[in-house]
């Protein structure tokens, strides 16, 4: 169709809205092309890049958080293991200390008993020695006493029997008095 026909159509009262005018088509095409190119090469690439970057960032952050969580869990497990270990160690130390204490106690007891035995032994020996010395001194004294008694008996025996027994009695009384 020629522009002339459009011209008559536009001016006629019964213009046909279904027939496009040249200018109408041209400007429509211009508008469409501008916007298609604009959306295709500017808006949508930027939009898509932004959305993709955001998705990536969110996923990255989620992964990071997961990693951190796993690390924290591992750390907690580590700490717990360490604690258990320390607890076991402490128990062991306590146990060994107790055993050591018992050993020390036993040793001390043994030493004490040995000491006691030794002391008893010493005491016994001392007592024995003293007894011996007592016996010896007693023996010597008894000897001289016997001699004293004998000499006294011999002196008086010649006079009377009566006085002899009085001498013995007096001697014994002296002895008793001396020992007191």
Could you list the residues that contact another protein (CB under 8 A)?
3, 10, 13-15, 17-29, 31-32, 34-36, 38-40, 42-44, 46-51, 53-54, 57-58
- Sequence-ordered strand ranges (E) for 24-114: none
DSSP 8-state class, residue 16: -
Q: Which is nearer to another protein, 5 or 31 (CB)?
A: 31
Question: Which residue, among 148, 142, 141, 143, has the nearest Cα to 167 in the 3D structure?
Answer: 148
Instruction: Write out the two tokens for 104.
Output: 């020390």
Q: Which is nearer to another protein, 16 or 165 (CB)?
A: 16
Q: Quote the least distance from Cβ 64 to another protein, whole Å.
A: 14
73: number of CA atoms within 13 Å, CB side? 6
Q: Quote the least distance from Cβ 71 to another protein, whole Å.
A: 24
Q: Quote the least distance from Cβ 68 to another protein, whole Å.
A: 19
Report the alpha-carbon distance of residue 24 to residue 13 in Å, rounded.
Answer: 19
Q: Which is nearer to another protein, 31 or 74 (CB)?
A: 31
């Amino acid at each position: 169709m020629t522009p002339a026909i459009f011209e008559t159509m536009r001016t006629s009262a019964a213009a046909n809205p279904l027939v496009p005018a040249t200018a109408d088509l041209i400007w429509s095409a211009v508008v469409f092309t501008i916007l298609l190119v604009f959306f295709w090469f500017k808006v949508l690439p930027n939009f898509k890049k932004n959305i993709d970057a955001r998705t990536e960032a969110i996923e990255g952050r989620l992964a990071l958080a997961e990693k951190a969580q796993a690390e924290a869990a591992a750390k907690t497990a580590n700490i717990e293991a360490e604690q258990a270990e320390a607890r076991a160690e402490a128990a062991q130390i306590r146990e060994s200390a107790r055993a050591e204490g018992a050993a020390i106690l036993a040793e001390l007891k043994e030493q004490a008993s040995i000491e006691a035995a030794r002391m008893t032994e010493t005491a016994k020996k001392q007592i024995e020695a003293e007894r011996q010395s007592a016996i010896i001194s007693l023996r010597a004294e008894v000897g001289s006493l016997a001699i004293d008694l004998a000499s006294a008996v011999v002196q008086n025996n010649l006079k009377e029997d009566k006085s002899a027994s009085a001498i013995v009695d007096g001697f014994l009384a002296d002895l008793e008095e001396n020992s007191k």
